Chain A
C-alpha cells in the first residue's frame, strides 16, 4: 500500500486514542457525552477509510452503524436519561484526574511495547492499528473503573467497544465484523435501557432508588 493511505489510517486511529484521552479529563457528563459522540464520528471515519482501502464494502455498514447509532442515537438518549432521572451533572471520580491521566499514559506505552514485539512481517498497518486499538480498550476500561456515575461507565464501555471495532476493521478481510458490530450495538442498547429501566442514577451497582448501596450479594 502507498504511504498516504497508511498515514491517513494512522492519523485517524491516533486521533481516536487522543479523544479517549480527552474523555479521561472530562468532569461534566454532557461534555463527556459530546466527546464520546466525537469519538464515534472519528471511528466511523476510520472504518469508512478502512472499507475504502480494503475495498471491503460491508465495512461501510459498520461505519454507518457507528455514525448513526453511536454518534447520534445513544448520545441523545443519554442526554434524555440524564434529564429524566435528574442525575446531577458533574462526574464523581474514584481516582483524581491527574493520576488517571498518568495511568492512561502508562497504559498506552504498555500497549505500544506489547505490540512492537510483534514481528514486522505481520502487516504494519495491522500492527499500528492494534497498538492503538489496545490502548483505546485499556483507556475505556480505565474510564469505567475510575468514574462512579453509571452514565460515564456506559460511555467508557462504549469507547472500549469502539476500540474493538477499530481492531476488527483494521484486521484485513476479517469476517463477521458487521455481525459483531451489530451484536455489540444491541448489547449497548441493552445496557442503556437497563440503566434507564432500573433507574440507575448514580452508582452502577445498585439497581433501585430504594437500595443504593446496602445490598451487594449476600446481606451482611
Chain B
C-alpha cells in the first residue's frame, strides 16, 4: 500500500477524531463552530484526494473500493455543508437561548465523533469493526437528539436509544453468525471477519447459517435505515433534535446503515444456495414506501413530515437494490445520492423556517413564498425534487426504477407507482399549505445561510439534466458489482 494513499484514508479518520479532541478541550466556545467547519472541510478534501491517489490494498481493517468511495465522498460533502449550515443555525439557537455555551462544545465534539464513526463504518474492511463504527455513530446521534433537554427531546432520544440498542444486538448476532459461517472455510481468527476475504470465499460458506445471519443483519441495520416496521425511532428523532442533526440523520446515517446492508447483500448474493436477499429487500422496501406514503397525510409537524418522506425514499432505494440488475442498481445508487442531497437541503430550509416562524407546526406556517421568498422557493424546489418531478435528479432514478420494474415484474410496479402517487399527493398538499396562501407566523427577515441548500439543489438539478460520463461509468461499474 503506497504511503500517500494510506494518508488519505487515515486523514478521513484522524481529522474528525482529532477535531473532536480539540473541540472538547477548546476553551473558547465561539471558536467551536469555526473549528467544526474547518475540520469538515479538511475531511472532505481528504476524501476527494482518494480519487487522485492510488487506493490502498485491502488491509486488516481498512478498505477503499468503488462501492464505498461513493459513500465516503457523499458523506464528507454533506457533512461539510451541514457544518456550514449548522454554524448559522446554532448561532441563532444560542441567541434564543435554547442552547448554552457548554452545550455548544459538546455538540460540535459529538458532531465530529459522529463523522468519525460514519467514515470508519465506510472504510472498515472488518465486519466487526464496521459494527462498532455504526453503533458509535448511532450513540453519538442519540446524545445529540437529546441535546435540547426538553421533555419531547429526551423521550425521542430514549426511544431512539432503546430501539437502537435492540437493533445493535440483532446486528451483532448476525455478524457472529457470519463469522461462524466463514470460520470453517477461512479458518478461525481475524481473517473470518475481513470482508474482502469473505466475499472471495462466500460461495463455500454454509448457506443456512448465512441466511439466518442475513435476516438478523437486515433487521439490525434495517432498524437504522428506518425501514417499516422498524422505523419507530426515526420520525421523533428527526423532529426533536437540532435540525442539522435531522439533516445528517436523513442524509448520512441512513446511508451508513444502508451501506452495511448492501455489503452483506453482496456476501449473500455470492452464495447461490442461500436465500436470495432480493425478495426480502423488495418486500421491506415496498412496505416502507406504502406505509410512509400513508403516514405523510396526518402529519402536523414539518420536520416529522420530512422524516417520513425519508422512510419512503429509503423504501424506494432498498426496493431498487432488491430488484437488482444494472438499471435498478444504478437507479438505487443515484436515488440514494440525490435523496441525501435533496433531503438535507430541505432540512436546511426547514431549520431556518422553523426559526423565523418560531414553530414547527405545519398549520401555523403559511405563504412562505410571500413572506420569505428565499426560503419558500427553496422549499418548493426541494419538495418538487423529493416528489420526483423533473428536471431534478430524483426523477431520473424513479424513471429507471419504475420503468425497469414494470418491464420485468409488472405486478411489483403497481404498488410501487401507487405508493409514489400517494406520497406525492401528501407532499403536494402540505407544500401548497406551507408555501402559498396568505402569509402566517413570524415575518422577521431571516439571516439564513442560503449557500448550502441552494448548492445542494443546484447539484440535484444538474444531475437531473446531465450526468458526467466518468460518474456514469463509475456508477455503472458499482451497479455491476452490486449484481
Contact = CB atoms under 8 A, between A and B. Distances in A.
Given A118-B206, A119-B206, A217-B235, A206 B184 contact: no
B356 interface: no
Given A175-B193, A198-B154, A217 B236 contact: yes
A144 B162 CA distance: 11
Nearest to B172: A164
B212 A164 contact: no
B189 A175 contact: yes
Q: How large is the interface on B (under 10, 10 to 19, 20 to 34, 35 or more residues)?
A: 35 or more
A218 B304 contact: yes
A204 B162 contact: yes
Given A160-B169, A191-B162, A217-B235, A167 B176 contact: yes
A90 interface: no
Contact of B209 (A118, A168, A180, A218): A118
Interface in A15-38: none
Contact of B177 (A123, A130, A161, A211): A130
Contacts of B181: 122
B284 to A, nearest CB: 19
Interface in A137-185: 137, 141, 144, 157, 160-161, 163-164, 167-168, 171-176, 179-180, 183
Contacts of A64: none
B168 interface: yes
Interface in B166-201: 166, 168-169, 172-173, 176-177, 179-181, 183-184, 188-190, 192-193
A187 B168 contact: yes
Contacts, number: 116
B433 interface: no
A161 B304 contact: no
Given A122-B184, A218-B300, A176 B128 contact: yes
Nearest to A114: B212
Contacts of B159: 205, 217
B218 to A, nearest CB: 15
A2 to B, nearest CB: 19
Given A141-B166, A205-B159, A218-B300, A211 B184 contact: no
B409 interface: no
A190 B166 CA distance: 14
Contact of A179 (B132, B188, B209, B235): B132
Contact of B180 (A122, A176, A183, A211): A122
A45 interface: no
Contacts of A164: 169, 172-173, 176
Given A190-B161, A191-B162, A172 B152 contact: no
A215 interface: yes
Contacts of A141: 166
B188 A122 contact: no
A30 B236 CA distance: 34
A171 B128 contact: no
A55 interface: no
Given A119-B208, A164-B169, A173 B183 contact: yes
Interface string A115-132: 101110111001000100
Contacts of B206: 118-119, 121-122
Nearest to A126: B180
A208 interface: yes
B165 A208 contact: no
Given A122-B209, A173-B183, A215 B165 contact: no
A161 B192 CA distance: 22
A208 B151 contact: yes
Given A117-B208, A119-B206, A207 B154 contact: yes
Contacts of A123: 183-184
Nearest to B184: A122
Contacts of A144: 166
A137 B215 CA distance: 14
Contacts of B300: 218
A164 to B, nearest CB: 6
Nearest to A175: B190
A167 B155 CA distance: 32
B173 A215 contact: no
- What are the 10 tightest A-B residue pairs by CB atom distance, in nearest-first order? A173-B188, A117-B208, A176-B128, A217-B236, A118-B208, A173-B189, A167-B176, A172-B188, A175-B190, A171-B180
18 contacts: A117-B208, A122-B181, A130-B180, A160-B166, A168-B176, A171-B176, A173-B192, A174-B183, A175-B128, A175-B189, A176-B129, A190-B161, A191-B162, A198-B154, A204-B162, A210-B151, A218-B235, A218-B239
Given A204-B162, A217-B156, A218-B299, 15 more contacts: A118-B208, A121-B206, A134-B212, A144-B166, A157-B166, A171-B176, A171-B183, A173-B188, A175-B128, A176-B128, A180-B132, A205-B155, A206-B155, A217-B236, A218-B304
